[in-house]
């Protein structure tokens, strides 16, 4: 293909003209190496997109937990990462990526686990954060394949910008992630986290809080459908109700809860490849000390993170970590 030379200046200028650049030179300039000491969120939009174009070659699936302020997204991630490292699961083990672009996420995981160990709640993700956690599941059974994953931890305040009354759009950097994934139609799993009992804002009753939570998730789903439809064809949805330990009704299941309390979410995903799930990090002790709510994790739940990891593996690989061989079914 012939190179295209472009110059924008006047023909009669006396000033020395800038040397012509070919189209290849222009492209190469945009693809120069950048210091890997930078964090993902500090890169240009183009550089962010490039990082996510590598996911297809790595055979890596991206997981994006979607939780709005006070939904428990940070606790959910902390619980998962704690179990991945310290849970006594005999069916699999996990390994974390250390190198860029996963380096900052690796440090975040260490902090999550330290907080969880001491019963403290990990701080909410700060606006503008893009922590990428690279993790590989290695099954105990050697015939089962490895599963490479990446969790992208985004701030609930940034996700809120899709709300019609605020901005109706993601930040440019989140869209840059999607643009990179679209190159090879890389798989993505959106994990929508919604609390069993949303915190009430000023002048809200509990029904208002449920409706607000429903509207936020609907705006998210609607934005993806209207503004990023290309990524939907290779996407799955996990709908996770957090704080399930607050549920007093043993007969209530997640799908029925979503149908009743989050009708907009239910209508948007009911005909898609959706996985319903409940989650609890354990028991929290909540006290009011001098007008300040103090929360501490006093009982850690291991069942929910175990189920989630196993379900995630099965959805991504179509294999069951707990599947028994013919010999085991007969004698085991």
Concatenating the DSSP letter of every residue in 145-193 gives PPEEEEEEEE-HHHHGGGSTTTTSS--HHHHHHHHHHHTTT--EEEEEE
Number of Cβ atoms within 10 Å of the Cβ of 326:
7
| 28, 48 contact by CB (below 8 A) | no
Residue 106 to residue 54: CA distance in whole angstroms = 19
Say which CATH number the domain at 142 has: 3.40.50.300
Residue 218 to residue 162: CA distance in whole angstroms = 10
285 lies in some domain: yes
Residue 284 to residue 25: CA distance in whole angstroms = 58
pLDDT for res 277: 92
Split into its structural domains, the chain has a count of 1
Residue 163 to residue 191: CA distance in whole angstroms = 18
40 lies in some domain: no
Number of Cβ atoms within 10 Å of the Cβ of 109:
25
pLDDT for res 22: 46
Q: Report the candidate in 188, 177, 149 with the shortest Cα–Cα distance to residue 313.
A: 149
| 194, 241 contact by CB (below 8 A) | yes
Indicate the burial class of 67 (C-beta count within 10 angstroms; 0-12, 13-18, 19 or more).
Answer: buried
189 lies in some domain: yes
Q: Which residue has the tokens 């979607």?
A: 66
Range of the domain at 84: 61-319
- List b or e across 286-306, with b for residues whose CB sees 16 or more CB atoms inside 10 angstroms: eeeeeeeeeeebeebbeebbb
Q: Report the candidate in 235, 241, 242 with the shortest Cα–Cα distance to residue 255.
A: 241
169 lies in some domain: yes
Per-residue DSSP letter, 133 = E
283 lies in some domain: yes
197 lies in some domain: yes
Structure tokens, 314: 């099965």
9 lies in some domain: no
104 lies in some domain: yes
Name the stretches of the chain with pLDDT < 70. Answer: 1-38, 69, 122-128, 156-170, 324-332
- pLDDT digits over 138-187, tens only? 999 989 999 999 999 887 566 666 655 555 556 788 889 999 999 999 99
Strand partners for 92: 139
Structure tokens, 301: 């739940």
| 119, 68 contact by CB (below 8 A) | no
């Amino acid at each position: 293909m012939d190179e295209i030379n472009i110059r924008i200046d006047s023909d009669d200028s006396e000033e020395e003209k800038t040397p012509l650049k070919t189209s290849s030179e222009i492209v190469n300039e945009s693809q120069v190496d950048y210091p890997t000491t930078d964090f993902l969120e500090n890169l240009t939009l183009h550089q962010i997109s490039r990082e996510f174009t590598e996911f297809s070659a790595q055979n890596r699936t991206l997981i994006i937990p979607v939780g709005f302020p006070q939904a428990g997204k940070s606790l959910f991630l902390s619980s998962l990462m704690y179990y991945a490292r310290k849970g006594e699961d005999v069916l699999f083990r996990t390994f974390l990526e250390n190198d860029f672009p996963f380096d900052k996420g690796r440090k975040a995981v260490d902090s999550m686990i330290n907080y969880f160990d001491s019963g403290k709640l990990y701080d909410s993700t700060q606006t503008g954060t893009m922590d990428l956690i690279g993790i590989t599941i290695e099954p105990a059974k050697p015939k089962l394949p490895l599963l490479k994953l990446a969790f992208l931890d985004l701030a609930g305040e940034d996700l809120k910008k899709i709300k019609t009354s605020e901005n109706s759009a993601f930040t440019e950097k989140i869209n840059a992630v999607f643009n990179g994934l679209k190159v090879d139609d890389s798989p993505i799993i959106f994990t929508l986290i919604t609390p069993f009992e949303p915190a009430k804002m000023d002048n809200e009753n509990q029904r208002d809080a449920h409706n607000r939570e429903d509207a936020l998730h609907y705006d998210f789903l609607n934005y993806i459908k209207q503004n990023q439809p290309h990524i939907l064809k290779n996407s799955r949805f996990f709908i996770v109700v957090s704080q399930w330990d607050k549920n007093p009704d043993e007969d209530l299941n997640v799908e029925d809860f979503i149908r009743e309390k989050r009708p907009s979410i239910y209508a948007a995903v009911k005909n898609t490849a959706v996985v319903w799930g409940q989650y609890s990090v354990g028991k929290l002790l909540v006290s009011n000390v001098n007008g300040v709510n103090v929360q501490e994790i006093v009982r850690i739940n291991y069942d929910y993170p175990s189920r989630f990891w196993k379900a995630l593996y099965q959805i991504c690989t179509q294999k069951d970590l707990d599947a028994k061989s013919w010999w085991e079914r007969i004698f085991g």
